[in-house]
Amino acid sequence: MNKKINVIDLFAGAGGLSEGFLETKKYHFLAHVEWEKPMVETLRNNLIKRWNYKISEARKRVVLFDVQKTSELMHGNWEQETLKLYRQANDEVFVAGGLDALIGNNKVDVIIGGPPCQAYSLAGRAQDPNSMRDDYRNYLFESFVKIVDNYRPKIIVFENVPGILSAKPGGEFVIKRIYKAFEEIGYEIRTPNLMNKSIYSASDFDVPQERKRVIIFGVSKESGLEVESLYKELSNLKSNKTKKTVRDAIGNLPKFRVLDKPYKEGRKNVSHALVGDVIIPLHDARYNNPRDISIIKEWLKNDMNDIPNQEKLDFYFEKTGHKTNHNKYRSLEWDKPSPTIVSHLYKDGFMFIHPDINQARTITVREAALLQSFPIDFEFLGSTAYCFKMIGNAVPVLFAKKIGLAVYNVMEGKRNEKI
């Protein structure tokens, strides 16, 4: 058996990329770096329960840290303010030596990650008065580049939204900045004018979701590898099966019924009841008030997804008395992949109405996770809103698995090995 490939995951989130790479059984993770505590707790918990990590090992390998403090992260030259934050977070296990100490004598073969995408997304720019030109997240790739430069992996994987190709903070296309930054440290990535060929849909890789993402592969110019071989291999790994649908992903989950009279359970409002006695963790119907339930039923009854956009805006005004420039409702369709699961779900789910009119509800946390191709036993820790947020920000697991396999095949000189 070949030795496993050593990898670091930056901006790891809840672990979509990490989970996919782990499922290939070909990688050993030296570190996963993430700053938001619920995501860190979720990833650690998954490593312990699903991958048999010892608690101490999971706490050590999943690093709670702000990647922007790059020198501290890599070398452990902590500032007092950093140590204070660790103590406040009750997470003092990562204080000696930084990533350098954690990696030890191991060679870092691959670095993967996806800096937060909100600053690059078209939706985010549309809603920000300055089109997010001043958003610090536009420049988080610089920290990614510094870490790559320090550890010199053979291959890098950088995942983001297609909007990164048109984002222009400070008057210069961010994709040109990224190209220059990697060029300066001796890494080859596709030139900006070829990056439009780097957009993939997760639905082509057995994910029940039309989710388009830019995959930026890079190779060290010292490695002897060719960046185009990675794209060719990933394209070769596209599924030749019919696209997975909403029905495939969530059609067999327990159903809910609308209560005749909503009630309060502690501080929680309840509008739906489970049908039957099969309980699946995180499969709990969100509260919807009577007006919203009525809207959902009317939307589904009249199959309103395909009506002209102005009619959708008029419908919203008629039902709520509020005006909007953006459609607020959409239902999933049983026999199609889901549209892109987004972090906005933490606010409300009206763009993700369940297709069963008898249930008259929006999707659950578990349904969102399954549409992102997370295993059904993957646990998300945190509030319901935060679970939706971390799922919406994640890389779909099966897509990540194919990316991991493509990287492995190129590194090992294999072609189109499928799992």
- Could you tell me the two tokens for 349? 């789910």
CA pair distance 330, 339, nearest whole angstrom: 10
Report pLDDT for 88.
67
Helix or strand or coil: residue 379?
A: coil
For residues 235 and 274, membership in a common domain is answered with: no
In this structure, the answer to whether residues 177 and 317 fall within a common structural domain is no
In this structure, the answer to whether residues 297 and 216 fall within a common structural domain is no
Domain count within the chain: 2
Q: pLDDT (tens digit, 0 to 9) for every residue of the chain, 419 residues total?
A: 468 999 999 999 999 999 999 999 999 999 999 989 999 999 999 999 999 999 999 998 999 888 888 998 999 877 777 777 766 665 555 556 889 999 999 999 999 998 875 544 444 434 444 444 444 344 688 999 999 999 999 999 999 999 999 888 778 899 999 999 999 999 999 999 999 999 999 999 999 999 999 999 999 999 999 999 999 999 999 999 999 999 999 999 999 999 999 999 888 999 999 999 999 999 999 999 999 999 999 999 999 999 999 999 999 999 999 999 999 999 999 999 999 999 999 999 999 999 999 999 999 999 999 999 999 999 999 999 999 999 999 999 999 999 999 999 999 987 666 65
Residues 234, 347: one domain? no
CA distance 15 to 31: 12
32 in the same domain as 115:
yes
Instruction: Please indicate, yes or no, if residue 286 is contained in any of the structural domains.
Output: yes
155 inside domain: yes
pLDDT at 92: 53
Q: What is the pLDDT of residue 125?
A: 33
pLDDT of residue 167: 86
Q: Are 276 and 380 contained in the same domain? A: yes
Residue 140 has what pLDDT?
A: 83
Question: For residue 84, what pLDDT is reported?
Answer: 74
Residues 40 and 15: their CA atoms lie apart, in Å, by: 9
Please tell me whether residues 89 and 200 are part of one structural domain.
yes
CATH code, 42: 3.40.50.150
- Are residues 21 and 74 part of one domain? yes
What CATH number should be reported for the domain holding residue 383? 3.90.120
pLDDT given for residue 80 in this prediction: 78
Residue 113 lies in a domain: yes
Are residue 113 and residue 134 in the same domain, yes or no?
yes
Same domain, 26 and 104: yes
pLDDT at 132: 44
- Least Cα distance to 35 among 73, 64, 57 occurs for 64
- In this structure, the answer to whether residues 55 and 200 fall within a common structural domain is yes
The pTM for the full model equals: 0.92
Q: Does 417 map to a domain?
A: no
Residue type, 279: I
In angstroms, the CA 387 to CA 341 distance is 12
Q: In terms of domains, do 311 and 213 share one?
A: no
Q: Is residue 416 part of a domain?
A: no
Residue 290 included in any domain: yes
* Centroid of chain to Cα 363: 18
Query: Is 58 within the bounds of a domain?
Result: yes
| Residue 419 included in any domain | no
Which domain does 63 fall in, by range? 5-241+396-411
pLDDT at 317: 95
